[in-house]
Amino acid sequence: MENNKRVLVIDDEAHIRRVIELKFKNQGYQVITASNGEEGLDLIKNQQPDVVITDIMMPKLDGRALCERANELKKKRPFLTIVMTCRISPTEQDWISKLQDTVFVEKPFSLQTILKCVDQYFGNEE
Amino acid sequence: MKVQRITIATFVIFVIGIGIFAQALYQQEQRSRTQDLQHKGNYLVSLVALHPMKNFLGIKRDYIVKTLAEYVTSDGLIYAIVQDQNGSPLLSLAHRDVVAKIPTDVEQRSLYVNGLIQQTYKMVGTDHTINEFAKPIFEGGQRSGTVRMGFDLPPISVFSLQRIKLMAIMAFFAFSMAVLVYYGVTLALRPLHEVNQNFRNICIDSVPVSPGSFKNGGVGEIIKGLEQSVFQLKDRYEKIQAENIDLTTKYGVISFEKHNVFNLLDSINHGIIVTDIQDNITHINSYMLNLLDKKRDEVIDHPLGDILVHDQITAFLLQQGAMKQSSGASYIETTFPELASGESFLVSLSYLSGRKEDVIGKAISFKNITSEKSAENAKHEFITRITHELLTPLTTINSYNEMLMDDEIDNVEMQKEFYNTINEETSRLTSLVKTLLNISKIEMGSLTLNKGLVKSDWLFDDCLTTVEGAAQKKNITIERNLPDSFPSLFGDKELLKVAIINILGNAVKYTPEDGHIQFMLTEQDDFVIFEVTDDGYGISKEDLPHVFDKFYRSTDPHVTEQTGSGLGLALTSEIVRLHGGEIEVNSKPDEGSHFKIRLPKEEYYLGKQ
């Protein structure tokens, strides 16, 4: 079950960080966490995660700004971003379409859904 | 009628004039001829009387007869008789019947008067007047004979060729003079006529005098016409004066109304620019002048494009102009970053119509919608926050439950922890929904306070009991501070509990382990005061003014690591306000916070509700 893929979970909600961390660790992923966008961006730059799972509404640097910064970084090194959002408004659709390798999952989500997205990205879906 | 009379009078005067003139001519002619006849008679008689008597019998007789015969034919000589002293004719140049018709007394007087004599008589049996001239012939101092000559006064011819020529010349000059005088008078009267005509033109009303009468040229007619014109002018002037008063009144009313409209436009909280059809500014209100930072004089009558340099608005006006909308209004939302930073405006265009429904100008209004936009953004933010706050515990519950159901948690302790988390998040969700409902009710004004007697010590204890469990977990000491007697409150106990628990709960939440909290109840004047003091993390200077704002959460890590909606203190503040109380906060980072709630006392509660 061990794999060398690194997953970064960014959320100010400790319970959600914890449960996603557990889920992915159980699947053999290496998991690192951050409680705000700024901390998360540092980890993206320094730890080079393969998957970033982030909330939208966060202190310091929110999910939108984080996604845009991540999109810049993806030009050098692609990675998957999964954004946990409450709802996707029509105006957000335009913004989303400009982002590379980014998937949106609406809350409340199933952990299986997130896992499936990651598996699809790495092409190891059964 | 007048014209006819004048014509007849002129004709009569003309005829009389001609008659008088002819009579004068006739008399003049007669006098002239009589004198001429006298001269001729005297001369001829005297001439013949110079001859001696023998000449009338001798050789010279023929010569004398021939000479006299010439006078007979040309100068009216009727007869010439030379008689001797006995009265016997020596020479007689006349018809026999003429001599016989000479009255005897005339002959006798001529024969016996010593000197030249002239006699006028009528021939016997005729009306023919004859002038007889007679002179005695003296020879040797003795009268030897008498010369008698009868002249017929020739008929007077007034209209002789010569006279007709003279009259023609005079008539020509008279006519020329008349023409010249007429022309001169007409020329002289022309300004007067023109003045009259001008008066007529000024007087729009019909003039009863026909224009022809002026052509006939009477000064009186002109003056009469002028008088009529002046009267009409006077009438007209009076009418115009009346109209002027009416118009002045209307102008006054319109000016007043216009002034009122302009005052109204100046008083409204919108910018207004009115332009004419050429896009020149005809009016601008005070609000717009302030926005553009210009004076009225710098703007009025200037092209709109020169005053309002704004690409978006120019494009909007062009687009609206292309659509040729003459009614209704359209709008755009825009900003003036250089003039009013951070403010949003709704710019709308209306076309102004004239009486004939034709477009006579534009009205462009600028409504400051910053607060509306802000409210709209706040509403959007509010909904987004609520959704987030509701979905976050739901997501936790859902995902924790999923992990448990998928048997991904083997460890029993961890399972217990997961169940606890689900329980806590459910409570959090419930509390959040209740808080939201209360806030919603307060904002809609539909929150009904279930007021009743609330004993402050009961309220104090209930609140304390609720948070004690959480405080014990963190080993936080809560110091109770109570007065000797407990005042009563009149309010909604449940809501007051929510308000105080929010404060106490926050104190527990944001105070580190082993910390201290002081919960104090005091009575001051007509107020019951609840005070919560902690030695926790405190609130930064930046966050302090916003702690009672809805959804406001500090970015301080001590805050963000705790669950919270940012609604608790907002609800507390509203509940206190609804009870007529006050809430205040003092705090310093790392020193702790102090919350004070002042609620009005109800000392004389008599069971009313």
What rounded mean pLDDT belongs to chain B? 82
Q: Taking CB atoms and an 8 Å limit, are B395 and A26 in contact across chains?
A: no
Greater confidence (B406 vs B334) lies with B406
pLDDT digits (tens, 9 = 90+) for B84-95: 888 888 888 887
What residues in A contact B392, CB-CB < 8 Å? 13, 16, 107
Q: Which superfamily is assigned to A6-122 in CATH?
A: Response regulator (3.40.50.2300)
- Give yes or no for B388 touching A (CB within 8 A): yes
**Does residue B442 surpass a pLDDT of 60?**
yes
pLDDT at residue B594 in the model = 93
**Does residue B271 surpass a pLDDT of 80?**
yes
pLDDT at residue A10 in the model = 94
Q: What is the helix, strand, coil percentage profile of chain A, to 5?
A: 45, 20, 35
**Does residue B607 surpass a pLDDT of 50?**
no
Mean pLDDT within B159-185: 81
pLDDT digits (tens, 9 = 90+) for B563-579: 677 778 888 988 888 88
Chain A residues interacting with chain B (CB cutoff of 8 angstroms): 12-16, 19-20, 22-23, 26, 35-36, 56-57, 59-60, 84, 86-87, 107-112
What residues in A contact B560, CB-CB < 8 Å? 12, 35-36, 59
Min Cα separation A58/chain B (Å): 9
Q: Which residue has the tokens 């919960």?
A: B519
Min Cα separation A111/chain B (Å): 6
Q: In this structure, are residues B320 and B279 in contact, taking their beta carbons and an 8 Å threshold? A: no
Of all residues in chain B, the percent with pLDDT exceeding 90 is 10
Structure tokens at B460: 């104090």
pLDDT digits (tens, 9 = 90+) for B327-368: 545 777 787 777 777 788 888 888 888 777 788 888 888 888
DSSP B514: T
- Give yes or no for B403 touching A (CB within 8 A): yes
Q: In this structure, are residues B79 and B92 in contact, taking their beta carbons and an 8 Å threshold? A: yes
- Residue B233 CA to residue B203 CA, distance in Å, equals 6
Mean pLDDT within A17-24: 93
pLDDT digits (tens, 9 = 90+) for A75-86: 888 999 999 988
- Interface pTM, i.e. ipTM: 0.91
Going through B263-379 in order, the beta strands assigned E by DSSP cover 270-276, 281-284, 329-336, 340-353, 359-368
Q: In this structure, are residues B134 and B148 in contact, taking their beta carbons and an 8 Å threshold? A: yes
pLDDT at residue A62 in the model = 83
Q: Taking CB atoms and an 8 Å limit, are A107 and B563 in contact across chains?
A: no
Model confidence at A49, pLDDT cuts 50, 70, 90, reads: very high
CA distances from B143 to B81, B138, B146, B432 (A): 16, 4, 8, 188
Q: In this structure, are residues B349 and B364 in contact, taking their beta carbons and an 8 Å threshold? A: yes
pLDDT at residue B325 in the model = 54
Nearest to A5 by CA among A32, A40, A26, A29: A29
Nearest to B570 by CA among B559, B560, B578: B578
pLDDT at residue B396 in the model = 92
Which of B377, B379, B383, B399 to probe by mutation at the A interface, max A CB count within 10 Å? B399
CA distances from A59 to A84, B129, B430 (A): 15, 162, 24
pLDDT digits (tens, 9 = 90+) for B13-68: 878 887 888 788 778 878 888 888 888 888 888 888 888 888 887 777 888 888 87
Which of A9, A15, A27, A31 to probe by mutation at the B interface, max B CB count within 10 Å? A15
pTM for the whole structure: 0.51
**Does residue A126 surpass a pLDDT of 60?**
no
Mean pLDDT within B1-13: 72
- Angle, vertex CA B118, rays to CA B116 and CA B123, nearest 5: 140
**Does residue A1 surpass a pLDDT of 90?**
no
**Mapping DSSP to helix (H, G, I), strand (E, B) and coil, where does residue B302 land?**
coil
Q: Taking CB atoms and an 8 Å limit, are B399 and A109 in contact across chains?
A: yes
Q: Taking CB atoms and an 8 Å limit, are B408 and A26 in contact across chains?
A: yes
Asked which of A50-59, B48-57, B218-227, B231-240 is least confident by mean pLDDT, the reply is B218-227
Structure tokens at B452: 């009743």
pLDDT at residue B213 in the model = 47
Model confidence at A6, pLDDT cuts 50, 70, 90, reads: very high
**Does residue A88 surpass a pLDDT of 50?**
yes
Question: How far, in whole angstroms, is CA B134 from its chain's centroid?
Answer: 108
For residue B269, report the phi and psi dihedrals to the nearest 5 degrees.
-90, 35
Residues written for chain A: 126
What residues in A contact B387, CB-CB < 8 Å? 86-87
Greater confidence (A115 vs B19) lies with A115
pLDDT at residue B531 in the model = 92
Min Cα separation A81/chain B (Å): 19
Min Cα separation B399/chain A (Å): 6
